[in-house]
Amino acid sequence: KWEALTQTQQEEEFSPLAPDFVVELRSSSDSFKKLREKMQEYINNGVRLGWLLDPKNKIVEIFRLEKQIEILKSPTTVFGEDVLPGFELNLNKVW
């Protein structure tokens, strides 16, 4: 992705790139509504896969490009899918 940018874009303070994958971990002081909005903004800017982890309620919301949000209650594992093939996060360590 970096190599596809113009020299000018590469020299900007903030490059116009989005990662393929993001994770947000909700803390006790975070607004769930604001975190959802943030995750949707990531997706709107090209992130392909995002996980919003809520340890207090043991919920994972999975955000994907051009798909509905998937909500998992008390999952033990989430997978990186085609964005991070072979990657698994054991949520027993998060909960």
> Domains in the chain, ordered, with CATH?
19-93 (3.90.1570.10)
CB 17 within 8 A of CB 1: yes
pLDDT digits (tens, 9 = 90+) for 32-87: 999 999 999 999 989 999 999 999 999 999 999 999 999 999 999 999 999 999 99
What is the phi/psi pair of residue 5, to 5°? -75, 155
| Full-model pTM | 0.86
Eight-class DSSP state of 92: G
